[in-house]
């Protein structure tokens, strides 16, 4: 995507704050393309899963500073996307500050230790529900809040959800996450059907294995697959292009789907997995 393609647009990116995350990379990519950006993040520990890593409030402010330094307008909005009232207040604040949002990247989500990870027959009910709440309900709540305003404004718009390769095929130990990310794909397709007549496209990106702090905090992923040698073997066995993906590579595809270059695409779920998943 070329610089300036989103000049004059207002974008909202969820999960925008974690320093090595896909959301931060997306917020910066959209700003470089010319958009003003509302950066939404929970920016506080989960009450129900305090050990699951999320961004801090300072990290959210830092992204806003970086976007401002690029010459774009930006605002930090704090909300748990799983809580409707918080989402509505955040989208309202972003709209009042920057103007009508016509570009949305639903990046916030995840799973991990204490947050839906483990064999399905042993998973606590609250954890399973929490993973669905954040990944599915949260994506829908943000889309609903933004798309209802886009429809009223009558100028069309673009939404890109972040699903996962785990929404297309099963991975043991992350069953709640697989179910949630599969739901995100059908949510994407249904919203694309419903919003197409209003000139709003809705697509999803399905990342593969991305080197962010979600899966690889302090080298956790490397430990899980058996250290440096295990990681090398995993990559050689599982990923045709022979490497993990970067947050910036996922962000580039999200930004492209949100750009005029992708105007004819809607209802798709595009893999960015270096070949790890091809379905």
Active site residues: 177
CB of 233 to ligand NAD, least distance (A): 18
Task: Summarize as ranges the residues that interact with ligand NAD (CB under 6 A).
Answer: 14-15, 17-18, 21-23, 41-42, 53-55, 80-82, 107-110, 134, 138, 162, 164, 207, 209-210, 212-215, 247
CB of 134 to ligand NAD, least distance (A): 4
Number of Cα atoms under 13 Å in the Cβ half of residue 66 = 19
Nearer to ligand NAD, 36 or 80 (CB): 80
Q: For residue 25, with 0-12 CB atoms within 10 Å meaning exposed, 13-18 middle and 19 or more buried, which class applies?
A: buried
The torsion angles phi and psi of 163, rounded to 5 degrees, stand at -95, -130
CB of 213 to ligand NAD, least distance (A): 5
3-class DSSP state for residue 12? strand
Nearer to ligand NAD, 5 or 180 (CB): 180
Nearer to ligand NAD, 14 or 203 (CB): 14
The torsion angles phi and psi of 171, rounded to 5 degrees, stand at -130, 125
Nearer to ligand NAD, 5 or 258 (CB): 258
Among 121, 139, 235, smallest CA distance to 183 is for 139
DSSP calls for 107-168 = -----BTTBB-B-GGG--HHHHHHHHIIIIIHHHHHHHHHHHHHHHHTS-EEEEEE--GGGT
Nearer to ligand NAD, 34 or 110 (CB): 110
Residue 123 pairs in a beta bridge with none
CB of 74 to ligand NAD, least distance (A): 15
Q: What is the largest CA-CA distance in the chain?
A: 55
CB of 243 to ligand NAD, least distance (A): 13
Q: Taking each helix axis from N to C terminus, what angle separates 175-195 and 138-153, rounded to the nearest 10 degrees?
A: 10
Taking a C-beta distance cutoff of 8 angstroms, is the pair 149, 132 a contact? no
CB of 92 to ligand NAD, least distance (A): 16
Q: How far from the centroid of its chain's Cα atoms is residue 274's Cα? A: 18
């Amino acid at each position: 995507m070329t610089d300036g393609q989103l000049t004059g647009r207002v974008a909202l990116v969820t999960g925008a704050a974690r320093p090595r995350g896909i959301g931060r990379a997306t917020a910066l990519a959209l700003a470089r393309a010319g958009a003003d950006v509302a950066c939404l993040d929970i920016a506080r520990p989960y009450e129900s899963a305090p050990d699951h890593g999320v961004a801090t409030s300072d990290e959210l402010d830092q992204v806003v500073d970086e976007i401002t330094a690029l010459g774009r307008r930006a605002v930090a909005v704090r909300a748990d996307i799983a809580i409707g009232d918080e989402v509505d207040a955040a989208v309202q604040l972003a709209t009042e500050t920057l103007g009508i949002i016509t570009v949305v990247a639903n990046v916030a989500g995840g799973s991990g230790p204490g947050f839906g990870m483990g064999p399905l027959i042993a998973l606590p009910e609250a954890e399973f529900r929490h993973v669905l709440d954040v990944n599915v309900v949260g994506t829908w709540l943000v889309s609903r809040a933004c798309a209802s305003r886009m429809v009223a404004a009558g100028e069309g718009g673009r939404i890109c959800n972040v699903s996962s390769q785990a929404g297309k095929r099963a991975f043991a130990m992350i069953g709640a996450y697989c179910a949630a990310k599969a739901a995100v794909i059908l949510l994407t397709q249904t919203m694309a059907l419903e919003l197409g007549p209003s000139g709003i496209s809705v697509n999803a990106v399905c990342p593969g294995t991305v080197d962010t702090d979600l899966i690889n905090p302090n080298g956790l992923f490397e430990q899980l697959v058996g250290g440096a040698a295990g990681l090398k073997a995993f990559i050689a066995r599982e990923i045709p292009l022979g490497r993990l993906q970067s947050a910036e590579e996922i962000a580039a595809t999200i930004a492209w789907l949100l750009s005029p270059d992708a105007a004819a695409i809607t209802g798709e779920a595009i893999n960015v997995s270096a070949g790890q998943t091809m379905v």
